[in-house]
Structure 1
Amino acid sequence: MRFEREKVQAVIARYSEDISWLAELDCPSVVYNKGTGPVEGAVVLPNIGRESHTYLTHIVRNYPDFPEFVVFLQGSPFFHMEEGADCRTLNALIAEHVERRVPFKGFAWFRMVCDRLGRPHQMADPSKKGRWPGWGKDIPVGKVFERMFGQAAPERFIASAATGLFIVRRDRILVRPLSFYENGLSIIESDPLDAENTGHAFERLWQIVFNGSSNLNPS
């Protein structure tokens, strides 16, 4: 099934990944390129704030003109999906959730529970030492939550889109005002190199961002 732009659009946060798989994707896409080397038709962004910066930039720039569903993906999404996943797997997931009109769904193979500091996490993985300034630090999930929502953070968070791969229905985006997303973007931009792991924190908060409810219980 091939979706039109008015129905489904994919937003791709690319750094250096091979995105040739997009040729097989069953919906139109917009690529935001933060890496080296030109990508035809891509929107060029500064390399700051991880994919969280890309996603919030897209929302702020396009608000309120979204298709019925928006799919947010990293440039290489299949690593965090079920074993053996490829673009056919992704197409099937998109079609299933569009048909069921699911308001929000993470595409990673797992969910995770973390505390206000994002624990447990792998920020001190020796193999990743030096890759970004925030290596070895905790993730300020609680702090970012409080800056986004203006209330005390809960003790734990159940993250259903921890890898930044998810589909969200238009009405779940629009239930929050543009100013809400502008605030989120400013929070990301205040930590451009992810020295405090702010971008990582958003990976654990997307399901709350898009729950559109006055009841912000993350469970």
Structure 2
Amino acid sequence: MSVRLCVATFGEDISWVAETGFEACVYDATRSRAGLIPVKNEAREASQYIRHIVEHYGDFRDHEVFLQGSPKPHNSSILHAMSLRPWTGKRVHSLGRVTMSFDPNMALPHYEHTIPFAREIGLRMDELQPWTIGAMFAASREALMDRPREWWEMLLEKAVIECAWSPWVLERLWLSIIDPRRRVPSLTSL
């Protein structure tokens, strides 16, 4: 089973990438580090992930693993977790802590914009959707290919245009984007 990492960086120490033993595309939003793929500093890891999907569309490995340049604050045992390949046989697997918390009273960008953004990209979503803290996950080739390349290009454009808050919104939406069937009923439908 083939695996490739997509690592979104902005100057972090990425020496841990070699420890994984996996093929890796390491994107560099500082555009200053030799050997890394230079990208514009737009929409944080969200734009780097989507660019990876667009650029490698049709040439995915069995699983593409999406990680921030410094993943340990979101999962201190990330290297051990990755060595177990917990994503095997799954469309999407979180590599960060999964939560369903949603507090609209908090003044964070993803609370106000998540549900409208989800609707605009064609997702049915409510406050109880599970999401991965740190936007770290593995996605199967099949799940990524379920959406046409043009859809991913549209998402990239939207993420960049709305970059003031889209990275946090997409953090809440990645699991639902990759596997829209991964739903939890809302409180009103119980």
TM bucket, shorter chain: 0.7 to 0.9
Pair 1:102–1:217, CA change in 2 (3 A): closer
TM-score calculated relative to the size of structure 2:
0.86
Alignment CA distance shift 1:31-1:120 (3 Å): farther
Size of the aligned set, in residue pairs, is 185
Map Cα deviations across residues 78-110 of structure 1 (whole Å, 9 max, x no partner): 1111xx4252x14324x2333xx1221111134
| Residues 15-57 of structure 1: per-residue CA shift (max 9 Å, x gap) | 021001112112110101002641x321111111011111111
Percent identity, aligned pairs only? Answer: 23
1:109 aligned onto 2:85: no
Cα 1:217–1:112, aligned 2, differ >3 Å: closer, same or farther? closer
Deviation, structure 1 residue 144: 1.0
Partner of 1:126: none
**Counterpart contact for 2:65–2:137, Cα < 8 Å:** yes
- Using the size of structure 1 for normalisation, the TM-score is 0.75
Flag the 1:57–1:122 CA change in 2: closer, same or farther, 3 A: same
Counterpart Cα distance in 2 of 1:168 and 1:155: 22
Q: Which amino acid aligns with 1:92?
A: S
Q: What are structure 2's unaligned runs of at least 5 residues?
A: 186-190
* Correspondence for 1:147 among 116, 120, 124: 120
- 1:8 touches 1:71 (CA, 8 Å); kept in 2? yes
Alpha-carbon separation, structure 2, partners of 1:218 and 1:154: 9
Structure 1 residues 167 and 120: CA distance shift in structure 2, 3 A: farther
CA distance 1:62–1:36, change in 2 (3 Å): closer
Q: Distance in 1 between matches of 2:78 and 2:58?
A: 31
Indicate the larger mover: 56-65 or 159-168: 159-168
Name the CA shift for 1:160/1:120 in 2 (closer, same or farther; >3 Å).
Answer: farther
Which amino acid in the other structure matches residue 27 of structure 1?
Answer: F
Cross-structure match for 2:176: 208
Unaligned runs of 5+ in 1: 124-133
Q: Tell me which of 50, 60, 73 is aligned to 1:56.
A: 50
